[in-house]
Amino acid sequence: MPSTIKGPAIFLAQFAGDQAPFNSFKSICKWAASLGYKGVQVPTWDGRLIDLKKAAASKTYCDELKGTAAEFGLEITELSTHLQGQLVAVNPVYDEAFDAFAPKEVQGNPKARQAWACDQVKLAAAASKHLGLISHVSFTGALCWPYLYSWPPRPAGMIDEGFSELARRWKPLLDAMDENGVDVGFEIHPGEDVMDGITFEMFLEKLKGHKRCQINYDPSHFVLQQLDYLDFIDIYHERICAFHVKDAEFNPNGRQGVYSGFQNWTQRAGRFRSLGDGQVDFSGIFSKLSQYNYKSWAVLEWECCLKSSDQGAAEGAPFIASHIIQTTGKAFDDFAAGEGVNTAQIKRMLGI
């Protein structure tokens, strides 16, 4: 029997800030609940919302976090290490750009920064177990991304070596997640080496099919790549453990296409939009995920180049709620069917 998707939930990363109600876990939970959300996805790099080291060491602290969420009728859906995961693998061309994701004491020191990031992911594994969570969301990071385009020609073996190294770095982290009973949903995302279905397969092959290597499904990134995001569910549904509900649009013209010509977000052919303002077929997505028995959360990730975050968040909860399919436990034509299996009747009807 298909499962009903849980939700609506909201990823707190784009909303956390220094002003109330976004500056503490309790106040942001109260805000999310007031908009109709039932779950919150927590960015572990934001100390205003969670102390990751404390969460990894103390189940009591995690019980308090869960209690704070429950006070407002919320559940914690997953922890996120998107920024730390990005730092597990960084091509040197991006060292300075990504240094801001790490604490000052490891900035300018790629090896120390990588060690810090790996430790963060392991802490998130323990914290997830203390919170009673079975899924986590992250980025893979990227070594090969600067060489995405086929010009200049890449040295033979470069991509294979890059994915081998990416898997080598993630294997012990996925093992740590496995020890804590947690799947890792990698967000398939340009800027990561795992950017589409083929690269996910390449990564998974290098990991020898590691059972904790899963997918955080986000159709917005597929619209911008012109990838068939519904067919993606048909192909990879068994590996989808998390779902970011995010909209996007792609409007190519005679001046720009997929690459969008270095334009800012409002001027790009491919743009992220608030829910309902883009081109994503969410009815099709929710139908397919329900068909394949997706049991977890539908989590709003708000990113829009036009609409305010306040309006996007307020509109997001009812939008997601309206797309969640309350799955049925019986077939619509059960009323016309007989009860049980009547072998004699079947043989008579078949003439055998």
DSSP string, 265-327: GGG-SEEEE-TTSS---HHHHHHHHHHTT--SEEEE----SSS-HHHHHHHHHHHHHHH----
- pLDDT of 123: 98
d(CA 33, CA 222): 30
Q: List pLDDT tens digits, range 176-203.
A: 999 999 999 999 999 999 999 999 999 9
Mean pLDDT over 143-149 rounds to: 97
Q: Does the pLDDT at position 1 exceed 60?
A: no
What confidence category does residue 340 fall into, taking pLDDT thresholds of 50, 70 and 90?
confident
Q: What is the pLDDT of residue 331?
A: 60
Q: What is the pLDDT of residue 327?
A: 80
As a whole number, mean pLDDT of residues 313-338 equals 82
Please give the mean pLDDT across all residues of the chain: 96
Q: Is the pLDDT of residue 3 over 90?
A: no
Closest CA to 271 of 224, 315, 219: 224
Q: What is the pLDDT of residues 21-62, one digit of tens each?
A: 999 999 999 999 999 999 999 999 999 999 999 999 999 999
Residue 158 has pLDDT above 70, yes or no: yes
- The answer to whether the CB of 180 falls within 8 A of the CB of 155 is no
337, pLDDT greater than 90: no
d(CA 223, CA 209): 27
pLDDT at 329: 67
Paired with 205 in beta bridges are none
Instruction: Tell me if 59 sits within 8 A of 29, measured CB to CB.
Output: no
What's the pLDDT score for residue 332?
56
Backbone phi, psi, residue 189, to 5° = -155, 125
Structure tokens at 233: 């569910």
Q: Is the pLDDT of residue 275 over 60?
A: yes
DSSP state of 90: B
The model's pLDDT over 108-137, given as tens digits with 9 standing for 90+, comes to 999 999 999 999 999 999 999 999 999 999
Greater pLDDT, 332 or 183: 183
Who contacts 67 (Cβ-Cβ below 8 Å, separation ≥6)?
A: none
CA atoms lying within 13 Å on the CB side of residue 8: 26
pLDDT of residue 318: 98
CA angle, 99 then 194 then 179, to 5°: 85
The CA distance from 241 to 255, in Å, is: 38
Q: Which domains does the chain have, with CATH numbers?
A: 6-350 (3.20.20.150)
Please report the pLDDT score of residue 341 as a whole number: 87
* Virtual torsion, Cα 93, 267, 137, 323, nearest 10 deg: -170
Percent of the chain past pLDDT 90, that is, above it, reads 94
Is it the case that residue 322 has pLDDT exceeding 60?
A: yes
Q: Pick from 28, 51, 47: which is nearest to 39 by CA? A: 28
Least Cα distance to 80 among 118, 141, 121 occurs for 121
pLDDT tens-place string over residues 214-255: 999 999 999 999 999 999 999 999 999 999 999 999 999 999
Number of C-beta neighbours around residue 276 at 10 A: 16
